[in-house]
Amino acid sequence: MPAFEWNKIIASVLTALIVAMVAGILSNEIIRPRHLEKLAYVPPGANSGAAATATATQAKAPSLPPIAPFLAKADATHGKQVAKVCEQCHTFDKGAPNKIGPNLFGVVATENIATVPNYSFSPALSKDKSEKWDPEKLNEWLADPQHFAPGTKMTFAGLPKEQDRADVIAYLESLK
Ligand code: HEC
């Protein structure tokens, strides 16, 4: 093949390459591809990172206002009256037997959670054995036992009023 034939072939290949390149650049300019900021469709079960953290913090966030201001004006005598609803399942005197629920003498701050002797706690509560019942925990527990320890066998709906809970906590604290 004569040399000028080769030149033609090389020239046409180069031209084709340049045309392809320019077309690519131009088409990118004309139709700017926009990438989605987040997935438009999240398959069920595949939580996107942000959503997962949001749920986690929501679950942890304290749902109740602090009990301290109510404890400051708590009335243990009234608490003892409110605690009558607990008596179908609990005893409060020192050394009194466990009923459906454990004996509650000295339960605040002195005893760890779920450690009353001769009482078989549910796994829902006994997983917190290394902690003590402080007023904040008792507040959450007494407001909604199933929320504080999902699966607990304390089938008690909870005390909805802050001051009632504070009074009961003050009563429990007075049992020493
Ligand atoms: C229907 C029965 C029932 C009623 C009513 C009830 N409880 Fe309970 N309570 C239980 C049971 C059962 C447990 C053990 C829960 C478990 O192991 O999951 C428990 C556990 C507890 C504990 C944890 C004790 C520990 O040593 O860790 C506290 C505190 C408590 N109850 C306080 C109260 C108070 C205060 C009231 C009344 C406002 C009350 N309960 C009403 C059945 C009851």
Q: Where are the domains of the chain?
A: 3-43, 70-174
- Secondary structure letter of residue 97 according to DSSP: P
11, pLDDT greater than 90: no
Ligand 1 centroid vs 17 CA: distance in angstroms? 80
pLDDT at 142: 97
Ligand 1 centroid vs 20 CA: distance in angstroms? 77
Q: CA end-to-end span of the chain, whole Å?
A: 111
Find the range with the poorest average confidence among 20-24, 138-142, 165-169. Answer: 20-24
Q: How many CA atoms lie within 13 A of 7 on its CB side?
A: 3
Q: CA–CA distance from 157 to each of 22, 86, 118, 126, 168 (Å)?
A: 73, 11, 25, 20, 15
CATH 1.10.600.10 fits 70-174, yes or no: no
pLDDT level of residue 91 (50, 70, 90 thresholds): very high
pLDDT at 44: 65
Q: How is residue 137 written in tokens?
A: 């925990």
Mean pLDDT of the chain: 86
Pocket lining: 85 vs ligand 1, CB cutoff 6 Å: yes
pTM exceeds cut of 0.75: no
Q: How is residue 55 written in tokens?
A: 């749920």
- As a whole number, mean pLDDT of residues 153-174 equals 96
pLDDT at 49: 52
